[in-house]
Amino acid sequence: MSGPEFNAGVWLAHRHVREGRGDRVAVRAGTTLTYAALSELVGVLTAGLRGLGLRRDDRVLFVTNDDVPMFSGILAAFCAGFVAVPVSTMLSAKELGTIIADSGACAVVASPEYGLQLQEALTMAPEVRHLVSDGPAPLPAPAGITSLTWQDLLTQGERAPYALREPAATAEDSWALWLYTSGTTGVPKGAMHRHANIRHVCETYGDQVLGIRPGDVCFSIAKLFFAYGIGNSMFFPLSAGAATVLEPRRPTPAVTAARLAADRPTLFFGVPTFYAALLAAGLPEDSFASVRLGASAGEALPAPLQERFTQRFGVEVIDGIGSTEALHIFLSNKPGEVRPGTTGRPVPGYDIELRDVAGACVPDGQPGSLHVRGASIALGYWRRTDASRAVFAGEWLNTGDTYVRSPDGYYTCLGRSNDLLKAGGIWVSPVEVESRLLEHPQVEEAAVVGLADEHGLDKPVACVVVQGGVTAEELVQWCRDGLAAFKRPRQVIFLDQLPKTATGKIQRFKVRAIVADLSGEGLPA
């Protein structure tokens, strides 16, 4: 065993019972679980998974909705010494099959509504031996795969020798969690996280930024299969003996309003596009009355959106940046120290450097590629040597984001390193232009990309979603009035909605395709 003994599942679930907090509420979902009930359930599932014949470091993949089975199943995988692999429920059959095969998963846990994708996906994954449905009936499975229900797994665990419930003697450096990310290449890659990484994000962002405490109730729009979501909904609340709210449905403002009213969360986690959707939904001003703090990540939170949300609902929102490779947020504003339009300062426990193309650190005020160092950085990508060497350099992680640092230590996002564009020979940050557009009272969403003019030079083009009547000329002039003239959009395209990922990030490559299709005659100089 490498390193000190540590098991994240024990630390998150079983520890609280030993320390006298078993009667506290841990999970609010379709059913409510205390820490004692959660610990018992995780123990039964640990025995049930072992009863399938899985061995140490085998992968258990989850294609499930946010609910008790997924939540307890991931914890049980940790406890048993297996590797939990939660994956997006938004994937096509081919995408899902590619990831299952790449991970080498032996067991798959799935919600019934993803059964059709799985039937095709499992034909691409010869190492899978067991399929567990979290619904009432088994799912169809190819020959050679045992299909059973969640209740079957529980019954098997309850009947197994009690010794099979005992947690594995894992080390801090043992594999615990693989999270798949497409990153900048579009090819899915499994970022491999240790048991100790989970504790580290709790002791840094959870403790020292959120200030999470036992009385808190966490509610996250991002789902458990995202690094951001699993931290918000599992790691942080369970680290502090707090409670989490699990919502299996697709997040909408109406669903969110209902859970806010019913569960009274104190910590709310969203992404910029969802904060915009909440503002546009006309929710009552007291909807967030129970929330003491909001958090945002996924992409930069524009200052106008941040300020509008706080003014309307009275909730301070701290913007931060994290990544799948770092497991959670490593650069963030702090409560009471928010500077709108920035991503704040380094989270205690992380070091940040901005580097130029030669790898040298840049001075304050100059853009540079964001590199981060901290104990939660992944071990690398599974079976992706070249990608690992490009992204992981010793202790440092190259995030692929371009930032600038102010003299007093606040970092501002300029976009992905490959999103920056030059207008008139001068670098332009799409984020800056988008932020100015969002200051306009009728602009709900904005995405700015570069499109070549008749001379082959990139110029900013804006795609916007608006409410009410406003012309393209008015928006161009609005940008002229608030920005240097060369940063203004040369064209404004009105859309009903912007293309986004499952996490709510704008898909800029799709925006570029839309712009190219709709701008056939090119741009004015």
Q: What is the signed CA dihedral for 149, 154, 160, 165, rounded to 10 degrees?
A: 130
pLDDT score of 183 = 47
- 113 and 203 belong to one structural domain: no
Structure tokens given for 64: 């499930």
- 168 and 308 belong to one structural domain: no
Given a contact cutoff of 8 angstroms between Cβ atoms, the answer to whether 381 and 387 are in contact is yes
Q: Which ranges of 231-285 would DSSP assign to H, the alpha helix? A: 236-240, 253-263, 272-280
- 315 and 437 belong to one structural domain: no
- 229 and 360 belong to one structural domain: yes
Residue 186 lies in a domain: no
Question: Which of 361, 388, 416 is the endpoint of a domain?
Answer: 416
pLDDT score of 427 = 63
At residue 88, the 3 state secondary structure works out as coil
* Chain position carrying tokens 């034909």: 123
CATH number at residue 87: 3.40.50.980
pLDDT score of 331 = 98
How does DSSP assign 288-349, residue by residue? TTT-SEEEE-SS---HHHHHHHHHHH---EEEEEE-TTTSSEEEE--TT---TTS--EEPTT
Structural element, H or E, at residue 42: helix 35-50
- 216 and 265 belong to one structural domain: yes
Residue 524 lies in a domain: no
**Alpha-carbon span 390 to 240, nearest angstrom:** 36
Question: Which of 385, 416, 447 is the endpoint of a domain?
Answer: 416
pLDDT, tens digit (0-9, with 9 covering 90-100), for 50-94:
999 999 999 999 999 999 999 999 999 999 999 999 999 988 888
- 363 and 499 belong to one structural domain: no
Tens place of pLDDT for every residue, the chain, 525 residues? Answer: 567 999 999 999 999 999 999 999 999 998 999 999 999 999 999 999 999 999 999 999 999 999 999 999 999 999 999 999 999 998 888 889 999 999 999 999 999 999 999 999 999 999 999 999 999 999 999 999 999 999 999 999 999 999 999 999 999 999 999 999 864 345 789 999 999 999 999 999 999 999 999 999 999 999 999 999 999 999 999 999 999 999 999 999 999 999 999 999 999 999 888 898 899 899 999 999 999 999 999 888 889 889 999 999 999 999 999 999 999 999 999 999 999 999 999 999 999 999 998 999 999 999 999 999 999 999 999 999 999 999 999 999 999 899 999 999 999 988 777 677 756 556 677 888 998 899 999 999 999 998 876 555 578 899 999 998 899 999 999 998 888 777 889 999 999 999 987 667 788 888 988 998 887 544 444
Given a contact cutoff of 8 angstroms between Cβ atoms, the answer to whether 174 and 159 are in contact is no
Could you tell me the CA-to-CA distances from 309 to 131, 180, 277, 282, 370 in Å, in that order? 43, 32, 11, 12, 28
CATH number at residue 432: 3.30.300.30
Nearest Cα to Cα of residue 118 among 148, 92, 138: 92
Structure tokens given for 331: 């650069």
**Alpha-carbon span 84 to 61, nearest angstrom:** 6
Structure tokens given for 74: 């991931």
- 344 and 425 belong to one structural domain: no
- 237 and 348 belong to one structural domain: yes
Residue 26 lies in a domain: no
Cα angle vertex 59, ends 53, 65, to 5°? 110
Residue 181 lies in a domain: no
Domain count, the chain: 3
- 338 and 477 belong to one structural domain: no
* Chain position carrying tokens 């920005």: 483
3-state secondary structure 417-456: CCCCEEECCEEECHHHHHHHHHCCCCEEEEEEEEEECCCC
**Alpha-carbon span 122 to 101, nearest angstrom:** 8
**HSE, side-chain direction, 13 A CA sphere, residue 469:** 0
Residue 240 lies in a domain: yes
The pTM is what?
A: 0.85
Residue 339 lies in a domain: yes
Q: What is the signed CA dihedral for 272, 269, 92, 182, rounded to 10 degrees?
A: 70
pLDDT score of 444 = 92
Given a contact cutoff of 8 angstroms between Cβ atoms, the answer to whether 395 and 351 are in contact is no
Nearest Cα to Cα of residue 399 among 423, 418, 425: 418
- 77 and 205 belong to one structural domain: no
pLDDT score of 445 = 92
Q: Which domain holds residue 509?
A: 421-518
- 298 and 390 belong to one structural domain: yes
pLDDT score of 2 = 63
Residue 66 lies in a domain: yes
pLDDT score of 431 = 83
